[in-house]
Chain A
Amino acid sequence: MDVMSAAPVIEQLSRETGISTAAALFDKIPPHPVDPVLSPLFRRGGLPRGELVTVTGELSLSCGLATIAAATREQKWCAGIGLGEPSVSSIADLGVDLDHFVNLATPGEDWLRVASILIESFDIILVDPGFAPSASERARLLAKIRERRMSLISLRPLSGSTEQIEITDTRWSGAEHGHGRLQSCLVRARSQTGTHRFLLPGPSGTPASVPAGTLEVVADGGASIAPTTDLGTDPATDTDDDPRWSTITQLRQVISHVG
């Protein structure tokens, strides 16, 4: 894309999202920090603020809790809605500061009401929504999130999200058919930044990067079962459904070319 073709994109951006300058695009509030193992999953290396993120698939709760861990250790308050009864020891294992985590045992049909109250003062909300909100409810929720600059992580697909992390494959190791115990789980996750492999939970309970030796073993096993391997390697493919994001991505490429 050359510099000249950026003009209509910029016009479209300022009309649709109110972003009028490049500075407004790039000097947004910094994202919440996340564990170094998880940060490649996010476009800006951390949990974006003022936006809705979805984490779906098997082990999504572990992934969500691991994502909030670094922020709670920086005194950011986090609440969980509709998570059932989480086990405290695993929350602590994933690195969450227990002094800054609250779990709401409210009925599933009240999640939107509870979330809208919590948005007022909490920094991060982790929610397993009991029902899908209507379009107008969703718009109000997103506006509130944007205004308070807080992060909402949904464990189910929810439209209006800016980043989607989907865990596509899990591979537990250590059980050894009756001769061991579960040690770690190798997951493959797809996000806007491509496909990533890491251990969640790793041997110590926290996320860990894949040791060099296991990579090839996994590559063999992964090829045999999963046709999804080649999906999501191109960052543009997943964002196509959201025109606004694809234009921003294009614009970023333009700006980085110019710079």
Chain B
Amino acid sequence: MSDESGRTLVLTVPDWPAVAAAVEHDIAPGRPVAVLHAGKVIAADAPARAAGITAGNNKRAVGYRCPEAHIAVWDEEADNRHFSAGVGALDNLVARFTLLSPGTLAIPLDSLRHGYADEADAVETLVSALVDDTGWEFFPGIADTVFAAVLAAGQARRVEPGQTVDFLSAQPITTLEYAGAEATALIEVFLQLGLRTLGDLARLATKDVNARFGAFGRHLHDLASGRAGAPLADHVRGEQLDVELDLDAPTTRSDTLGFLARQLGADLLAKVRRQALVCTQITIELDAAGGQSSSRTWRIEDMQENAIADRLRWQAEGWLAGVGRGSPPGQNPRTAQPDPQELDIVDEPAPDAEDFSDDGIIALRLIAAELTTPIGATRSLFDENTGQITHTLERLQGLFGPDAVLVPGIQGGWDPAETNLWTPWQQAAVPERSPAAPWPGALHAPRPTTVEHSAVDVLAADGSPVEARPSGLGAAPATIRFPTGQTETITDYSGSWPIESGWWDPNRAVYRTRLQVVTDAGRALLLSKEHGQWYLTGRYR
């Protein structure tokens, strides 16, 4: 890529999390706002900074310095949502742009060259349009690479063509935090080696950096020496395209629903086509007369109204059929292990079986969940026979229902029952718990191969149930009795280890003791004790 085509304009809103929090909580302008994440301030707006609040302060320090400041908890989702909504004005002004992170966007300058006389003119037009539209303050920065332009935007300056390397070499090495959280450890090492500016790093030979710090180190070296990386993916207009249909009378008949869905799907696809876009994922929402609703997101490779109608029919049938099942009586819903088939149903309150089946579905809504340009939706030539696989699996979904074909995924949790995330084929996975969060006490490999959930009795040698205390087991476990009445002798057992979490919130409190046992049949099992009852939670098969 030549220098010319890498030249980028970056527009950034300073202290974006604080601005987003002010928008989210509707705070009057001029009132100090500080945003906390993990107990530390990560962003503060200008009035708050004037009062002496800086990044890294804790909540109490904010209270001392500026008692009237509004303290908001960082909400990544709100950050993204407000930013992509706010920059809608750009859609009409520039052909291509990329949202780098909430609060920062990049525009390749060659896309502006034909519309504006020079760089200054372009920046003035764009910034004034954005400021008029949103009322936020934008800092522009122009340089030959995206990374340099982001740094330049932080100082609101324009780097002349060809001067980028000089500009970068004067910047402190800590600016490499741009490359992500994993860069932090490497920056520490660079500082210990006496590399204080990007120029110090850039002066090292590429092959030495590669040999010592690997691919990631070389990436940082490329950034520091002003070499352009891969081109950015363009931002796709995030319009909310949806269609809605209210039925005159509630229905549970799947043929009626399928017929209506076909028309509705055709309407939605026509709407999407008018925007010169292609829809690759669709969210289907069903409302029941009793007020319950079911929402699922489906990925469909050949998006057409018949495919949409099939998915809607499956979803409605599965939902109506699932209502009768309910949760088994006598089981505390809070401690119940999440059933994989229920994980993907969002916002579904446990409906009451009787009045629900009489009423049926009263409204349908289709939302285009993922839009892309027509070229982006084309399948790669190198994907090996995915078309045939898709065909086979869709046929099985048609025969046995969508929930019969499941693809694996991993979410956060302590036990395999919680980390399991089985999602029906071509539906978007909805993790309930973040895998990135720390899960102290999580089970290490080797982990059980199958997940079970049945109450068992664990007995000591004298036949009394084994107690689990924070200090350990009350007695050595000697036998295990399965619900079928069958018993096996325990030949070996692991130490028991407790998990205690969420004690601050009675709805999320978890106290559980886990134990691995080996029986005389050579079988290894994972047991856990919760609410005074032992459960078989996993089997090493």
Q: Which residues of A contact B (CB under 8 A)?
A: 58-62, 65, 75, 77, 83-93, 98, 101-107, 110, 114, 117-118, 120-122, 169-172, 174-185, 201-205
A88 CB contact (under 8 Å) in B388, B405, B408, B522: B408
A169 CB contact (under 8 Å) in B416, B447, B449, B522: B522
Q: Are A102 and B476 in contact (CB under 8 A)?
A: no
Q: Are A177 and B493 in contact (CB under 8 A)?
A: yes
A101 / chain B contacts, CB cutoff of 8 Å: 407-408
B330 at interface by CB-CB < 8 Å: no
A122 / chain B contacts, CB cutoff of 8 Å: 389, 392
B495 CB contact (under 8 Å) in A90, A181, A202, A203: A181
Q: Are B541 and A182 in contact (CB under 8 A)?
A: no
Q: How far in angstroms is the closest Cβ of chain B from A168?
A: 10
B403 / chain A contacts, CB cutoff of 8 Å: 105
Chain B 444-470 interface residues, beta-carbon cutoff 8 Å to A: 444-452
A181 / chain B contacts, CB cutoff of 8 Å: 444, 494-495, 497, 516
17 contacts between A and B (CB under 8 A): A58-B522, A85-B340, A87-B451, A89-B443, A90-B446, A91-B408, A98-B410, A103-B407, A105-B404, A121-B389, A121-B392, A122-B389, A122-B392, A178-B473, A178-B494, A178-B496, A181-B516
A180 CB contact (under 8 Å) in B404, B448, B495, B540: B495
A176 / chain B contacts, CB cutoff of 8 Å: 492, 494-495
B505 at interface by CB-CB < 8 Å: no
A120 / chain B contacts, CB cutoff of 8 Å: 388, 392
B52 at interface by CB-CB < 8 Å: no
The stretch that binds A, out of B179-187, B210-218, B232-240, B418-426, is B418-426
B449 / chain A contacts, CB cutoff of 8 Å: 61-62, 65, 86-87, 90-91
Q: Are B395 and A87 in contact (CB under 8 A)?
A: no
* Closest Cβ neighbor of A225 among chain B residues: B522
* Closest Cβ neighbor of B385 among chain A residues: A121
B518 at interface by CB-CB < 8 Å: yes
* Closest Cβ neighbor of A182 among chain B residues: B516
B472 at interface by CB-CB < 8 Å: yes
Q: Are B396 and A114 in contact (CB under 8 A)?
A: yes
A83 / chain B contacts, CB cutoff of 8 Å: 450
> Which 8 residue pairs are nearest across A and B when measured between Cβ atoms?
A87-B416, A205-B445, A201-B446, A61-B541, A121-B388, A88-B408, A175-B494, A90-B447
Q: Once bound together, how far apart are the Cα atoms of A83 and B406, in whole Å?
A: 12
B523 at interface by CB-CB < 8 Å: yes
Chain B 230-284 interface residues, beta-carbon cutoff 8 Å to A: none
Report which residue of B420, B447, B450 has the largest number of chain A beta carbons within 10 angstroms of its beta carbon: B447
* Closest Cβ neighbor of B422 among chain A residues: A103
B207 at interface by CB-CB < 8 Å: no
Q: Are B420 and A84 in contact (CB under 8 A)?
A: no
Report which residue of B408, B448, B476 has the largest number of chain A beta carbons within 10 angstroms of its beta carbon: B408
Report which residue of B385, B395, B492 has the largest number of chain A beta carbons within 10 angstroms of its beta carbon: B492
Binary CB contact string for chain B from 359 to 401 against chain A (1 if under 8 A, 0 otherwise)? 0000000000000000000000000110011011101100110
* Closest Cβ neighbor of A113 among chain B residues: B399
A106 / chain B contacts, CB cutoff of 8 Å: 396, 400, 404
Report which residue of A62, A172, A203 has the largest number of chain B beta carbons within 10 angstroms of its beta carbon: A172
B472 / chain A contacts, CB cutoff of 8 Å: 178
B494 CB contact (under 8 Å) in A98, A110, A174: A174
Q: Beyond A92-B410, A204-B445, is A178–B419 a contact (Cβ under 8 Å)? A: no
Q: Are A89 and B416 in contact (CB under 8 A)?
A: yes
Binary CB contact string for chain B from 508 to 541 against chain A (1 if under 8 A, 0 otherwise)? 0000000011100111100000000000001011
* Closest Cβ neighbor of A173 among chain B residues: B492
Q: Are B540 and A175 in contact (CB under 8 A)?
A: no
Q: Are A62 and B541 in contact (CB under 8 A)?
A: yes
Q: Once bound together, how far apart are the Cα atoms of A181 and B446, in whole Å?
A: 10
B172 at interface by CB-CB < 8 Å: no
B538 / chain A contacts, CB cutoff of 8 Å: 87
A107 / chain B contacts, CB cutoff of 8 Å: 400
Q: How far in angstroms is the closest Cβ of chain A from B266?
A: 30
Q: How far in angstroms is the closest Cβ of chain A from B65?
A: 46
A90 CB contact (under 8 Å) in B395, B416, B494: B416
Q: How far in angstroms is the closest Cβ of chain A from B532?
A: 21
* Closest Cβ neighbor of A170 among chain B residues: B522
Q: Once bound together, how far apart are the Cα atoms of A257 and B24, in whole Å?
A: 82
Q: How far in angstroms is the closest Cβ of chain B from A100?
A: 9
Q: Once bound together, how far apart are the Cα atoms of A175 and B516, in whole Å?
A: 8
B450 CB contact (under 8 Å) in A84, A92, A171: A84
Q: Once bound together, how far apart are the Cα atoms of A202 and B445, in whole Å?
A: 9
B422 / chain A contacts, CB cutoff of 8 Å: 85, 88, 103, 105
Chain B 48-64 interface residues, beta-carbon cutoff 8 Å to A: none
B407 / chain A contacts, CB cutoff of 8 Å: 98, 101-103
B318 at interface by CB-CB < 8 Å: no
A103 / chain B contacts, CB cutoff of 8 Å: 406-408, 422
A204 / chain B contacts, CB cutoff of 8 Å: 445
Q: Are B406 and A205 in contact (CB under 8 A)?
A: no
B420 / chain A contacts, CB cutoff of 8 Å: 85, 87-89
* Closest Cβ neighbor of B442 among chain A residues: A89
Q: Are B419 and A117 in contact (CB under 8 A)?
A: no
Q: Are B425 and A102 in contact (CB under 8 A)?
A: yes
